[in-house]
Copies of this chain bind each other. A is one copy, B any other.
């Protein structure tokens, strides 16, 4: 049932009888203020932001409303870089390439790729944030961390599903998840949500040791725990994945149109990587 609909309906009706120019009739936005020759994002002139905050920090400012501390800014950058690309096989990438092969403009491929962020693909961050918070609620009502973890895992398995943020098609130890946890430790940004996901991980590892299918933490789970500790709204968890992957969709759509014939049939299994071999960042960047 559409809960808010009725409410909306009546306000819509009331509005029509009110004169339109009343200030109270105006709708509000708190994001960006535009004046001639001035653009203020959350109060800060955009030209002051440019070159002083890096892109990840500027995104944090826009979404959360305040300038991040340098450590939070660094964590935000790592979260956003983590899902930049995952090769040609994700359905979002294939959707973008199938659109690109028709000669469509770049932004149409991006939009189509973004549409493939369905419940099974990139949608786990929000679910995992809620899942971890359900565990933290149990802790606040007296359970130990491990009890709470065991309880929410059991609850989930009883309903027949995998806990959100665990398991991966390709990886048994997701290098992105490991790196996010390492950085949270080093930057002293570990909080309740990371502790909770670690407790859940222990429960699932114990189950795997007694013969169950192993379900390691994946990148979505790690992002969810980090975003939970940074205080993000649930919906903005999924936003991290969208922002992170858009450059990947662009790179694939662009490569599709520049390296391949139009209107080709794209078989995700028949591809071969021919880019640079594994290499290390320059000394100065490590």
Number of copies: 4
| B residues less than 8 Å from A34 (CB atoms) | 86-87, 89, 170
**Interface flags, A130-165, vs B, CB<8A=1, else 0:** 000000000000000000000000001001111110
Residues 98-147 of A at the B interface (beta carbon under 8 Å): 98-99, 101-112, 114-124, 127
Interface centre among A102, A242, A260 (most CB of B within 10 A): A102
| Pair B55/A3 contact, Cβ less than 8 Å | no
Chain B nearest CB: distance from A223 CB in Å? 11
Q: How far is the CA of A40 from the CA of B116 in the complex (A)?
A: 23
Chain B nearest CB: distance from A23 CB in Å? 7
| Pair B106/A239 contact, Cβ less than 8 Å | yes
**Interface flags, A250-284, vs B, CB<8A=1, else 0:** 11101101111111111111111111111111100
| B residues less than 8 Å from A67 (CB atoms) | 281-282, 285
With contacts A26-B271, A50-B81, A239-B254 known, what are 5 further pairs, Cβ within 8 A?
A: A12-B169, A30-B275, A30-B276, A31-B251, A54-B54
**Interface flags, A45-68, vs B, CB<8A=1, else 0:** 111111111111011001101010
| B residues less than 8 Å from A156 (CB atoms) | 1
Q: Is A207 interfacial (CB-CB < 8 Å)? A: no
| Contact residue among B77, B85, B103, B242 (Cβ-Cβ distance under 8 Å from A110) | B242
Residues of A within 8 Å of B, CB-based: how many?
Answer: 161
Q: Is A175 interfacial (CB-CB < 8 Å)? A: yes
| Pair A78/B63 contact, Cβ less than 8 Å | no
Chain B nearest CB: distance from A253 CB in Å? 9
| Contact residue among B103, B115, B171 (Cβ-Cβ distance under 8 Å from A104) | B115
| Pair B272/A269 contact, Cβ less than 8 Å | no
Q: How far is the CA of A19 from the CA of B108 in the complex (A)?
A: 33
**Interface flags, A6-46, vs B, CB<8A=1, else 0:** 11111111000000110101111111111011111111111
| B residues less than 8 Å from A78 (CB atoms) | 50-51
Chain B nearest CB: distance from A152 CB in Å? 10
Q: How far is the CA of A276 from the CA of B277 in the complex (A)?
A: 48
Q: Is A208 interfacial (CB-CB < 8 Å)? A: no
| Contact residue among B12, B36, B46, B74 (Cβ-Cβ distance under 8 Å from A263) | B12
| Pair B271/A268 contact, Cβ less than 8 Å | no
A37-B175, A63-B250 are known contacts. Are A119 and B95 too (CB-CB below 8 A)? Answer: no
